Amino acid sequence: MREARAAWALCTSLALVAAAAAAPVAPADRVYRNGTVFTADTALPSAAALAIRAGRIVYVGDDAGAAAFVGPATITTDLHGRFAMPGLVDGHMHPLEAGRTLLKCNLDYASLTVAQLQRGVQDCLDRSSDKEPDAWLEVVNWFQESMRPAGVRTTRATLDALHTHRPVIVRSSFGHTVLANSRALQLAGIGKATPEPAGGKIWRDADGQPTGVLEDAAFAGFDALLPSPDPQQDVQAAAAALQAMNRQGVTSFLDAIGTPEDLAAFSALRRAGRLTARAHFAPPIEPKESGNLDAAVQRVRALRASYDEGALVAAPGITVRNAKLFLDGVIAAPALTGAMVEPYRRNAGTEAAPDWQAGTSRGPAVYFAPPALETVLVALGRAGIDPHLHADGDGAVRAALDAIAVLRAALPGADIRPAIAHDEIVAPADFPRFARLDVTPVLSFQWEKPAGDTLGLRDYFGPERMKILEPAGLLAAAGARIAFGSDWPVDALDEWFALKVGVTRTNAPQAPAEFHGRLGDDPGLSRTAVLRAATIAAAYELHEDDVTGSLQTGKFADLIVLDRNPLVVPAEEIAATRVLETVVGGRVVYTAPPLAPRSTP
């Protein structure tokens, strides 16, 4: 009897499957076939075809199955074997700031001598000589950490030597350092008697006078003195940023300092139907707000009430479900403002005859004291807001993990997804805590290579810490869910170079000889791991993994088509990947002009 029932159930199931297979399906809007499709779905990692209807994926599988979705009006794309994958999800960037840099005096992240730096700034002054003597000049994308020769210092005298009376500031591409001339310091009221600000540093000479190098909160006063972009200029900057993202294949992003100006600019594009990537914003909560954290959290909630669009839909929209907190600065020399577990080393000798010894400075104290950090994280969690924490040094990383442990204990089972951005150095004892606390490290893979900023730490860190610098592979081996964030415009927006470095931990082949080889002992990530970091893992970070981040039936049709297969080409060639088409919610937002021929691996 039992066998008969089982046979009847099997026959019934087969009949239902056959009927479903025979039933006609509604035609798709678009069908892609004859491709190599990386899905980022562990249940079906690869496919040859997919179909899209009303902004969602309705089929992923082989070409034969896709044929049923082709109707008279279906747009069918023969991929000719090309590689398709989910659109990139960039888990940490600053897009409005990046768009604004396109309109400013720009040093283009170049590795410069002091003379070349001066020439670059003087060129901008000469091109705008009509602005003399009082208009500010703001210079951006200064790669301070890669100045040549290594260890060279700049001061206000570097800029005072230029032929100008104008106030001048030069912003480091890392975003944590400003070099100002004497006129700028004077107008900002920064002098010998100026106290150190919370969350910042004023570098001083032997007489206590500011050298002109300012870190973090120390240069905040310039914002009130510099001319502010008007709303229309910000809309133009946001549009330029979106175009750059679409060319790189970015279909979702987190604005990691989502100011009201950022929100207003991207919301204007949204209203005009010009938003071409899913936009998530993390308004900042600053250390100076530690005395009134309830008001700070309420401010973030008010921005969410004004701008967040609710449940995600196929068309890209706006969310405000994150908050940004800076816990330290940067580990890179000469700033050394990352908060460290063990002190930075110091040169007890001379520049000509160095003698590097154990030092006493651990960098600045973590910008939020532990009680304040714990309080604000729990308050954010109760409000349903994910904390996004900047932590560069291992001391700041540990402080972040300690506070998140308090958050987890206070709100057990809550779907709060804290992220710690950068994590450039992590104490080995803290590696397994990321997985244990379900914390996502959001890493900028392009930093995981020999370069001026990383190798410039050798003397300050010593050999043991250099082995574990930029520990993506080590964190992954400890079970952490690695997500990718470009931190644009800290670096140029080059997602594919970053993903290549995530695999190889090498610089570009044309880099100077001193930057050849691999960085440290970290094993790096597999090709699949870096693609997942920039798709489904970052989508998890942004609370959108149920609808994006992988190519699965029912999810939004966010996908890109590439000119090569990054899973099989020689690893160095990943950096040369070109995006041929970018699709967001079923809408093509970028097509390469012209469509490039398929590359053969």
Q: Give the Cα separation of 166 and 69 in Å (integer).
A: 64
Tokens linked to 21? 């297979």
Q: What is the per-residue pLDDT for 18? A: 44
User: Residue range 508-526: average pLDDT?
Assistant: 94
In a domain, 188, yes or no: yes
In a domain, 407, yes or no: no
Q: What is the per-residue pLDDT for 594? A: 53
- In 3D, which of 448, 520, 424, 514 has the Cα closest to residue 150? 514
Q: What is the per-residue pLDDT for 198? A: 82
Judgement on whether residues 157 and 47 belong to the same structural domain of the protein: no
In a domain, 94, yes or no: no
pLDDT of 66 higher than 70: yes
This prediction has a pTM of: 0.85
In a domain, 182, yes or no: yes
Average pLDDT, the chain: 93
Judgement on whether residues 107 and 217 belong to the same structural domain of the protein: yes
Which of 224, 247, 264 is a domain's end point? 224
Judgement on whether residues 111 and 205 belong to the same structural domain of the protein: yes
Q: Tens of pLDDT along 80-116?
A: 999 999 999 999 999 999 999 877 899 988 889 999 9
Residues with Cβ < 8 Å from 327, sequence gap 6 or more? Answer: 339, 366, 367, 368, 373, 389, 390, 391, 396, 399, 400
- Which residue has better confidence, 597 or 435? 435
User: Residue range 418-441: average pLDDT?
Assistant: 98
Which of 202, 224, 246 is a domain's end point? 224
In a domain, 273, yes or no: no
Q: Which amino acid is present at 6?
A: A
Which of 224, 239, 274 is a domain's end point? 224
Give percent of the chain with pLDDT exceeding 70.
Answer: 95
Neighbours of 326 (CB within 10 A): 23
Judgement on whether residues 135 and 194 belong to the same structural domain of the protein: yes
User: Residue range 485-503: average pLDDT?
Assistant: 96
Judgement on whether residues 183 and 103 belong to the same structural domain of the protein: yes
- Which residue has better confidence, 600 or 98? 98
Judgement on whether residues 169 and 195 belong to the same structural domain of the protein: yes
The dihedral through the CA atoms of 137, 138, 140, 143 has a sign that is positive
Q: What is the per-residue pLDDT for 5? A: 42
In a domain, 47, yes or no: yes
Q: What is the DSSP secondary-structure string of 334-366?
A: TT--S--SSPPPEE-S-SSS--EE--S---SPP
Domain of 6, CATH number, reads: 2.30.40.10
**Domain span at residue 72?**
2-81
Spell out the long-range contacts of 569-576 with Cβ–Cβ below 8 A and sequence spacing 24 or more: 569/599, 569/601, 571/500, 571/503, 571/504, 571/527, 572/500, 572/504, 572/506, 572/509, 574/496, 574/499, 574/500, 574/503, 574/527, 575/494, 575/496, 575/497, 575/500, 575/501, 575/508, 576/496
Judgement on whether residues 54 and 168 belong to the same structural domain of the protein: no
Judgement on whether residues 114 and 183 belong to the same structural domain of the protein: yes
Tokens linked to 425? 């150095």
Tokens linked to 295? 């008001």
pLDDT of 345 higher than 70: yes
Q: Tens of pLDDT along 228-270?
A: 889 999 999 999 999 999 999 999 999 999 999 999 999 999 9
pLDDT of 1 higher than 50: no
pLDDT of 199 higher than 50: yes
Domain of 203, CATH number, reads: 3.10.310.70
How many structural domains compose the chain? Answer: 2
Judgement on whether residues 14 and 104 belong to the same structural domain of the protein: no
In a domain, 274, yes or no: no
Q: Give the Cα separation of 553 and 590 in Å (integer).
A: 23
In a domain, 448, yes or no: no
Q: Tell me whether strands 168-172 and 419-422 are parallel, antiparallel or unpaired.
A: unpaired
Confidence of residue 23 (pLDDT cuts 50, 70, 90): low
Judgement on whether residues 131 and 171 belong to the same structural domain of the protein: yes
Q: Give the Cα separation of 378 and 294 in Å (integer).
A: 11
The dihedral through the CA atoms of 375, 380, 384, 388 has a sign that is negative
Q: Tens of pLDDT along 440-462?
A: 999 999 999 999 889 999 999 99
Judgement on whether residues 57 and 131 belong to the same structural domain of the protein: no
User: Residue range 275-292: average pLDDT?
Assistant: 97
Judgement on whether residues 119 and 198 belong to the same structural domain of the protein: yes
